Structure 1
């Protein structure tokens, strides 16, 4: 139960996280959490404003003795990725997250946890509420819609913030200090297709791909995890001579690696044995390839009684599966300058084909603008050759590292002092808001850090309790050490 979460240490942090997770906060539906945050600030008698796009800013004066320090901005985003297991009955629009403790981890029951970026939000709330935590003049910036468009960061106007240093609390390894990130662009490919009457003397079947780990399409793309849309396409391609496609639906949000896909197909009765054999054959190959990465992968077929009236025309089906086969998914290029950093990647996040329409959603990321453009053009070419209409949207810039920044040097040395180890000071492949915020606040020093979170953007999301304690002590010391004006 969530009460056991409230008893974890540090209680200030976990209590605020429990408060926050009681409020539904899906991306693009943040009205309730915006109201919650505004009420929170006003109850503390702190200056609280909502800007034109829905970001909430709460200002708190410096504590006694800290008035001579540089003013800071502490920033996290209010929205969370909503993903659940197919067998979990849960309504993200009306229910709060149901959490529990599992050893050193806090988890949610069958859904995403919201630690991304809820632990950052909870950290700032605890500092705003406290009358014992020392800190400089503070602006708390709670942005909206980070997960599906960076709308809040894009809409924040210049001149609204007075802070000189921004602490972004949206990194997911407690030994990492983020100094740069990838930019991104949403790619949407759509196409109408012709349908024909379902052939007589045929059997309707479902093909299901499930059991994949999923995860964050930026941070986890380097792991080479399975993509349910790509796996389903391999099955459809392998059985193309035996089936007619009625529909397929796989994946969800652009920033989540797809875990599941379901297709409805019609099989000629005299080809059923060949179809079954071919599915078993390709499933065995995929499972062997991914036996270490995806041990829970399950590919199955099932007869269904409700035969669809229409199926996709053969030529359109061929174009569809070839387009998905051709479209790049996963790491496109590793950085030649920063070891083990993905420079450019693409996630084929969602595919829906039904009732004469196909829609494919991708998210392309890169820390190099020209490389992002190159991969986006390659994807556009793949889809357009198959007759798709391709649109780019939601583009946002990367965040270029500044290793000479005073806040970078402070956190690097402070981490070593406190934990007797060196932090991993590096750029990441996720999309952080710092790059966008920096466009209107170019003189503001920025840095990103946070507690250890695993499986973000998937129902396996979990937050480390011991890491949260380590992170909290780090935050407290950072606030004390902010440089003088």
Structure 2
């Protein structure tokens, strides 16, 4: 018996738990794709598994809906792979360790994959059902949404007959998403020149930040560990002599970095002063957050005298300067909806390799020219650092459809069922809807979902009662699509 076996809606959480047993981090989705194929086979359903491992499963309409137009239910198979710094979880091989805490479901020391496993679980529960009225269903499960949306970009939409698409990849119950930002991944590669340096090896560790979704939570101004560490190193570099040995932080481009570790080799006569300065900077930064980052921790540890290969002085300066000076965070709010973010970028990953320091940004905007403007600024910073660049994973914005048929129906149903008006908004987070609409312009799309919190972090939780309500809502919405 599974840990979710007695939690309603049982038919949804049965599949959610089964999905949680299959590793499915971004770029490692073959196992979960094959799981979906086996599900289709076991229920005698038509399926397509393409060469990149997207899966489409089709089910005929139930009695009375045989001649209705198909409805597409869409979600993505991959999940963000984030874990605590002391976790030994292997996202390529290990199942998630689920737990229940009151109304919340989480995973021990890791992301949960509610984003977007809950969509897949909903769809599977519909596909497996024998007593839920519905039109023909085309369940579209894409891969690698979280980094670059490669699955949606590759998807052959010519095999889809549905014109209504229910994207279940929104994370606040009662919020109906009707548009999203476009974006891309920007990688900077700063070349390393190594030199042999002697002194005292020290490790600066920044951890305990809340992190979060760089689309849905960038406006909260949460601490980005990569940017904070750059600030610390820049401040230390104005007063003390040291060379960087390595610097690493963050889990994914679209996650606000929760940790960063930098190793330095410092002038031995300045070690105590550096340690004291780091302690003072910790106090300053904690005070600046005014309680918003309650578990932030900045520590300097001394590892002893050493002679080792380190970044030479010029590389140290260029790496710190680039990380500190490159733009980050909210750049502009939407002028029509002042509480909505229009343009932002997130310094998601810093990684030291054998010959470069790689810095990965997630860039987002609902205005195409602003995407270009942010690229220009990153290009300038990259050039000044003597670095190279690579842009990948571009995806278009999903524009608001004034003539939508499904939107007024979905809004009216929500009010009828729950007695409150749902919120209609566009999201700064990237959704596959823009890519799908670009490929199939006759699609009428709306995005919704149950409450998920802490998405893209190891604080991620699925809210049980909300999952039940939105399950009931999904069934009624399908029933209305006749």
TM-score bin, normalised by smaller chain:
over 0.9
Residues 308 and 147 from structure 1, CA distance in 2 versus in 1: closer, same or farther, beyond 3 angstroms?
farther
Asked if 2 retains the 8 angstrom alpha-carbon contact of 1:248 and 1:354, the reply is no
Deviation at 1:280, TM superposition (A): 1.9
Say whether residues 1:332 and 2:331 are aligned partners.
Answer: yes
Instruction: Give CA deviations for 1:278-324 in whole Å, capped at 9, x if unaligned.
Output: 21222221111113211100000111148351222222212221111
In 2, Cα distance between equivalents of 1:321 and 1:186: 21
SS in structure 2 of the partner of residue 134 of structure 1: coil
Asked if 1 retains the 8 angstrom alpha-carbon contact of 2:148 and 2:184, the reply is no
Question: Which deviates the most, 432-441 or 238-247?
Answer: 238-247
Question: Which deviates the most, 346-355 or 143-152?
Answer: 346-355
Q: What is the match of residue 248 of structure 2?
A: 249
Asked if 1 retains the 8 angstrom alpha-carbon contact of 2:82 and 2:110, the reply is yes
Q: What is the match of residue 124 of structure 1?
A: 123
Q: What is the match of residue 205 of structure 1?
A: 202
In 1, Cα distance between equivalents of 2:158 and 2:2: 41
Asked if 2 retains the 8 angstrom alpha-carbon contact of 1:204 and 1:304, the reply is yes
Unmatched segments (≥5 aa) in structure 2: none
Asked if 1 retains the 8 angstrom alpha-carbon contact of 2:148 and 2:392, the reply is no
Q: What is the match of residue 459 of structure 1?
A: 458
Deviation at 1:277, TM superposition (A): 2.4
Instruction: Give CA deviations for 1:448-482 in whole Å, capped at 9, x if unaligned.
Output: 10011011111110010111111111111101111
In 1, Cα distance between equivalents of 2:190 and 2:137: 50
SS in structure 2 of the partner of residue 478 of structure 1: helix
Unmatched segments (≥5 aa) in structure 1: none
In 2, Cα distance between equivalents of 1:356 and 1:94: 29
Instruction: Give CA deviations for 1:352-388 in whole Å, capped at 9, x if unaligned.
Output: 2354421111110111111111111111111211211
Instruction: Give CA deviations for 1:235-285 in whole Å, capped at 9, x if unaligned.
Output: 111111232211111112111111011111112121123212221222221
Instruction: Give CA deviations for 1:384-416 in whole Å, capped at 9, x if unaligned.
Output: 112111221111101001133010111111111
Give the TM-score normalised by the residue count of structure 2.
Answer: 0.97
Asked if 2 retains the 8 angstrom alpha-carbon contact of 1:235 and 1:283, the reply is no
Deviation at 1:67, TM superposition (A): 2.7
Asked if 2 retains the 8 angstrom alpha-carbon contact of 1:164 and 1:444, the reply is yes
Equivalent pairs counted in the alignment come to 480
Question: Which deviates the most, 60-69 or 131-140?
Answer: 60-69
User: What do you get for the CA RMSD once the two structures are aligned?
Assistant: 1.4
Deviation at 1:124, TM superposition (A): 0.2
In 2, Cα distance between equivalents of 1:364 and 1:206: 30
In 2, Cα distance between equivalents of 1:53 and 1:203: 49
In 2, Cα distance between equivalents of 1:439 and 1:365: 18
Matches within 5 A, 1:242-391: 242-305=241-304, 307=306, 309-353=308-352, 355-391=354-390
Asked if 1 retains the 8 angstrom alpha-carbon contact of 2:185 and 2:360, the reply is yes
Asked if 1 retains the 8 angstrom alpha-carbon contact of 2:9 and 2:468, the reply is yes
In 1, Cα distance between equivalents of 2:205 and 2:309: 20
Matches within 5 A, 1:435-450: 435-450=434-449
Q: What is the match of residue 23 of structure 2?
A: 24
SS in structure 2 of the partner of residue 235 of structure 1: helix
In 2, Cα distance between equivalents of 1:141 and 1:47: 12
Deviation at 1:329, TM superposition (A): 1.0
Q: What is the match of residue 235 of structure 1?
A: 232
Q: What is the match of residue 4 of structure 2?
A: 5
